[in-house]
Structure 1
Amino acid sequence: MGIVGLGAYLPGDPVSNESVAQSTGADVEWIRDRIGIVARHHAAPDETTTDLATRAGRAAVESAPVDPDLVVLATVTADRTVPATACFVQDRLGVSGAPALDVNAACSGFVYAMATAAGMVHAGVARAPLVVGADVFTRCVDPSDRRTAPLFGDGAGAVQLGPVPEGYGILATELWADGSRAEVATIPEAGGHFRMDGRGVTAVVLEMGPKVLNSALAKAGVRLDQINRLIVHQANPRLVRKLGDFVGLEKDVVPDYGRLTGNIASASVPVTLSFAHRERPFRDGDLLALVAVGAGMTAGAMVLRWYDPAN
């Protein structure tokens, strides 16, 4: 099973650093130089996670040769506590009867959702899952907090999975979590604002990102220097580059779109994947690795071989 369709959606017009600085009191140069973000997107007041997820999901489905028979949505901003937001997305996409569920592993959520979908296929539940990552995370932060408000944006990304020839598709996955580190990044109570220990997050990213990546590579029998593109959760451009340098990969192997999207939580990995393919299309046989670290703390990595049916 592999990726046969991609989609992404960012709501509204880009929100500049000047606009964020005006509302938070943060310094424009500090935002640009310390975190590297120059723009992000904010959902309209009436836009929901379902709206964003449906737009990205429909784009992925329309670009694929198969129709979804399962919807797995990674999100931390569910429209309701019950039912799962994936059920609303399933209904909007017109795939009634297909199983639908949410996965919450914060910024690692999309990798967890991909692993969940792959397990469903292995169990015989589905043949062509649609996996979506979507969040309106700007509603989780204090808009006046200069430490967090400049970092985050809203968006959605999706992949349609389907049958691919043997040797292609998902080759290996590694997942990790440590609930003892939950206070590093958390929304401590219902209706509260997101808070994080920036240094603590960086430490976990640089500790666990390489560990889960190397474990997934070992499972797949792939060397790091064979990876054509490393798709990293875009926490912020400086941290993405730091992780790339840490594992020894050149800039052209580690796409950086976080400067234009901000941290979009569960949507970050699939949006980066979609943008990377749009800008410089993956070639048949390319080896891709996904890696993300998120609240929980959680981490996940996946290795895939790209299949291009036109090859």
Structure 2
Amino acid sequence: MSEYNGLKYSAGILGMGKCVPDNVLTNKDLENMVDTSNEWIVQRTGILERRILDKDTPLYELGSKAAIEALKNAGLTPDKIDLIIATTETPDYLTPSMACLIQKSIGASNAAAFDLNAACTGAVYGLTVASQFIVTGYYKYVLVVSCEGLSRVVDWKDRKTCVLFGDGAAAMVVGQVEKGYGILATHIGADGSMGHNITIPCCYIDSEESQKRLSDNKMVIWMDGSEVFKFAVRVMVQATENVLNQSGISIKDLSLIIPHQANMRIIESAVKRLDIPPDRVFSNVQKYGNTSSASIPIALIECIEKKLVAKGSYIVLVGFGGGLTWASALIKWSKEE
């Protein structure tokens, strides 16, 4: 829990940018790759297509392009950035970190840099961490870059998971905004006892995890979909209510809820429990699939592009992910769009 009243500065989003691969993988394409159908995928997920990163392109290039666009949107040059936080569960290397690769790529030579892995919840975790540096005055500008290449860890023999994921990147410049605006409240949480429900091995895999996987390549994602579904609906509702209660804002005052774009059924179930009109919950899962930590900022950018956000709009960003983790942020939008 983190409230921002009485602190030295208010923190908010000054600029945003996104980058998705050109390559589109449709449900029809997947019909030729695995035992599935367009109808089966749409009925269970709402997804029509997703973007896939070219195998010869490093993921940090997507993140760097998103970062440059965000800096331009914020009216800043790379040398002004004090810190880069990269959120990812699919880094190009364990070291150097994704944040350091992006720092080099964009020329942010004055920035400290580190990676943060909260899986699909990463962007809201990153936004929460970034805001602490701003509200205390420790840093002036923090760049949060969420970049994911889940297609590189998908088991293409597992139709329950390979249809879900896509690749993409989005970036947010976080800095000082006028009092009363910006990030009003955040909430982050984790339950490691449920971590076995979504796993991606890296340098080690035990026999139980190995046996779950259909492919000869065992270093791929595995998920217990039914357990994740129940968890996701519950924590998205609780996390949304948490930040509203912290700030004394009613759900009726919200302009938009922007949830993690994992699955349309999860989003619809959470909306029903929150008792909010569906037209105030944004989704673009049909276009991109689940892009993990990049999904929420990509969706926020599209909301801005569609003129769904204006100065003074109350917005909740809410997500869940591997770990298992969850997070939410209540923002009073500070920019004239």
- TM-score, L = length of structure 1: 0.96
Q: Is the 8 A contact 1:172 1:220 kept in 2?
A: yes
Task: Report the equivalent of 1:289.
Answer: 316
Deviations, residues 279-304 of structure 1 (Å, cap 9, x unaligned): 12411100010000101110000001
Choose from 195, 207, 212 the match for 2:222.
195
Q: 1:249 and 2:259 equivalent?
A: no
1:82-161 equivalence runs, <5 A: 82-161=95-174
Amino acid at match of 2:302: F
1:89 CA drift (Å)? 0.6
Q: Counterpart in 1 of 2:4?
A: none
The match for 2:334 is 307
CA distance in 1, matches of 2:114, 2:147: 13
Q: Does structure 2 conserve the Cα–Cα contact (< 8 Å) formed by 1:284 and 1:307?
A: yes
Match of 1:238 in 2: 265
Residues 1:63 and 2:73 are matched in the alignment: yes
Gaps of 5+ in 2: 1-10, 204-217
Mark the runs of 5 or more structure 1 residues left unpaired by the alignment: none
Q: What is the Cα-based RMSD across aligned positions, in Å?
A: 1.4
- The question of whether the paired residues in 2 share the 8 Å contact of 1:61 and 1:68 is answered with no
Corresponding residue for residue 178 of structure 1: 191
Instruction: State the SS of the aligned residue for 2:110.
Output: coil
Match among 236, 244, 261 for residue 209 of structure 1: 236
SS in 1 for 2:177: coil
Name the TM-score, length of structure 2 as normaliser. Answer: 0.89
Is contact 1:74-1:105 (8 Å) kept? yes
Q: Which residue of 1 aligns with 2:47?
A: 37
Aligned to 1:288, what secondary structure does the other structure show? strand
Separation in 2, partners of 1:281, 1:158: 19
**AA of the residue aligned to 1:140:** V
Structure 2 counterpart of 1:8: 18
Range moving further from structure 2, 77-86 or 104-113: 77-86
Q: Tell me the matched-pair count.
A: 310
**Is 1:51 aligned to 2:78, yes or no?**
no
- d(CA) in 1 for partners of 2:177 and 2:202? 44
Q: Which residue of 1 aligns with 2:213?
A: none
Tell me what 2:251 maps to: 224
Cα distance in 2, alignment partners of residues 119 and 80 from structure 1: 27
Question: What displacement does 1:236 show?
Answer: 1.3
Partner of 1:21: 31
8 A Cα contact 1:8 1:157, kept in partner: yes
Judge conservation of contact 1:168–1:285 (CA < 8 Å) in 2.
yes
Residue aligning to 1:169: 182
1:308 deviates by: 2.3
Distance 2:251 2:111 in 1: 37
Deviations 1:76-116 (A, max 9, x none): 01111112110111111111021111100000011111111
Amino acid of the residue matched to residue 178 of structure 1?
D
TM-fit CA distance, 1:57: 1.0
Match for 2:39: what amino acid?
A: E
Residue 246 of structure 2 aligns to which amino acid in structure 1? K
Which one of 82, 86, 91 corresponds to residue 73 of structure 1?
86
Match for 1:37: what amino acid?
I
Matched residue SS, 1:23: coil
